[in-house]
Amino acid sequence: MSDTAAPSGTPGGAPIVRAEGLTKTHHGEGAPVHAVRGVDLTVRPGEFVAVTGPSGAGKSTLLHLVGGLQRPDSGKLWIDGRRVDEYREARWAVLRRRSIGVVFQFFNLVSNLTVADNVELPALLAGASPRTARDSRAELLAELGLEGREKSMPGELSGGEQQRVALARALVNHPALLLADEPAGSLDSKGTREVLRLLSRFHQRGQTILMVTHDARMASAADRVISFFDGRIADDAELGAGRRGPGGGVSGVLELKE
């Protein structure tokens, strides 16, 4: 297989994520922890996939491998048709800037930059002109209900607002893949509903999403739910087509009360 060729034969175009036999063992203070033990995974364009499972099952490690935040010990990984498992950090950084948005449980905004700068920075780093970065930032912040908060510092915002800024930052470069690691894990129920509604909205517009969550309601927003147990995929279930609205979204989620 060449460096850039995607595995063929997939209806509807090349997968956004394709993993074969991914493994990762953590070497901490105690015994080695086999967090990911030979995972095969395909995520197709436009899919919203939730990964659930007990604490310590290896869900976050899997997400970190897919986003290049950690390196696999073995296995192959393609992102958007490119073979990436042997990329070094500099190439991963470029790939993440262009093709992968990430949101984390604790937002990870740059605390001494304004909301506007937090969102514009990845666009500028990816080569957008200042004007394009500004326009994209303004459009996303308006869409996410954050108009008027451009000059605020992250610490002045609620958790839900900070997570919406993090979502804007993750999406500003129109990534092929959005990775979300417990995106509502530190939010109250209102913040959780907001994040769920926004993820569903972006998914309806075609955004491919891979999300780790403990929360069954968050998982129910996805097309597909992968149960992760002891470093392996224990179950991989497509949610029924009957649950989908006309745009491909899940009607139950869209009906959630504001």
Binding site for ligand ATP (CB under 6 A): 26, 28, 33, 35, 53, 55-61
Q: Which is nearer to ligand ATP, 51 or 177 (CB)?
A: 51
DSSP state of 32: -
CB atoms within 10 A of CB 248: 16
Q: How far is the CB of 228 from ligand ATP (least distance, A)?
A: 6
Q: How far is the CB of 60 from ligand ATP (least distance, A)?
A: 3
Whole-angstrom distance, CA of residue 166 vs CA of residue 124 = 16
Q: Which is nearer to ligand ATP, 26 or 76 (CB)?
A: 26
Q: How far is the CB of 227 from ligand ATP (least distance, A)?
A: 11
Q: Do the Cβ atoms of 168 and 137 come closer than 8 Å? A: yes
**Which strands, in side-by-side order, build the sheet including 48-52?**
100-103, 177-181, 208-212, 48-52, 224-229, 232-238
Q: Which is nearer to ligand ATP, 182 or 223 (CB)?
A: 182
Q: How far is the CB of 127 from ligand ATP (least distance, A)?
A: 32
- The separation between CA 246 and the C-alpha centre of its own chain, rounded to angstroms, equals 24
**Apex CA 17: angle with CA 82 and CA 246, to 5°?**
125
Q: Which is nearer to ligand ATP, 195 or 211 (CB)?
A: 211
